[in-house]
Amino acid sequence: MTGQNQSIEINLGQDRRLFVLVERKRVKNLRLKVYPSGEVKVSAPVGLDYSKVAEFVTSKSEWIKKILKKKQPVIPVPGVPDFEIAAVLFDSVDRLYPIVEAMGVKKPSVTIRRMKTRWGSCSVNKNSIRLNSSLYSAPKECIDYVVLHELAHFLYPDHSENFYGFIERFMPDWKRRREALKCMRFPE
């Protein structure tokens, strides 16, 4: 099937399978790419035997699983489309980011995932924040509190007096919002 696109099926475990698209190109080496959408493609030299490509992809299955886990953009909330969850949470980030941008903070990457014990987390070193997909169900003011809390960590990496002073300056009712969040349950 030289010159045509093919696919290779790999087993991800727990009855999950993934089809990796094989694209025949004028390249010298095999190249594997995992896209944010979860799509996986391998670029393969035009003349390379299909079995060699399949062997390469299979040998990378653990790596593919690891990358897919990291790149998973949104964990579903039953009955709600992923794009709707993302739109609500990203809207909050877009509205509140200018507060820290004015203080020299580079815009972080945002990942939405299901988390069992937190509404959000921040990695200053990786310039990223993670938001719990279940925040979608919270009142807008609670979502904004979590987002501002995580953004504030780029200025104050701890939970010091300065950290909470910063939050209070831009969100005077933050304690009420935090209490409202404490009444919400994490997903099981």
pLDDT tens per residue across span 1-44: 444 567 888 777 666 677 888 889 999 999 998 876 567 889 99
Q: In the prediction, which pLDDT does 1 show?
A: 41
Q: Which fold has domain 82-182?
A: Zincin-like (3.30.2010)
Starting at the edge strand found earlier in the chain, the sheet holding 16-25 runs 6-13, 16-25, 40-45, 31-34
Q: In the prediction, which pLDDT does 71 show?
A: 57
Residue spans of the domains in the chain: they are 6-71, 82-182
pLDDT tens per residue across span 56-95: 988 988 888 887 766 544 455 667 777 788 888 999 999 9
Using the Cα atoms of residue 176, residue 134, residue 72 and residue 69 in order, give the sign of their dihedral.
positive
Token code pair at residue 26? 């004028």
Distance in angstroms (rounded) separating the CA atoms of residues 119 and 135: 7
Token code pair at residue 65? 């699983």
pLDDT tens per residue across span 45-63: 999 998 999 899 889 888 8
Give 184's contacts (C-beta < 8 A, 6+ positions apart): 134, 137, 138, 142
Specify the amino acid at residue 89: L
Distance in angstroms (rounded) separating the CA atoms of residues 117 and 140: 20
Q: What are phi and psi of 97, to 5 degrees?
A: -55, -40
pLDDT at 96 over 80: yes
Q: What secondary structure letter does DSSP report for 48?
A: S
Q: In the prediction, which pLDDT does 116 show?
A: 83
**Cβ pair 86, 73 in contact under 8 A:** yes
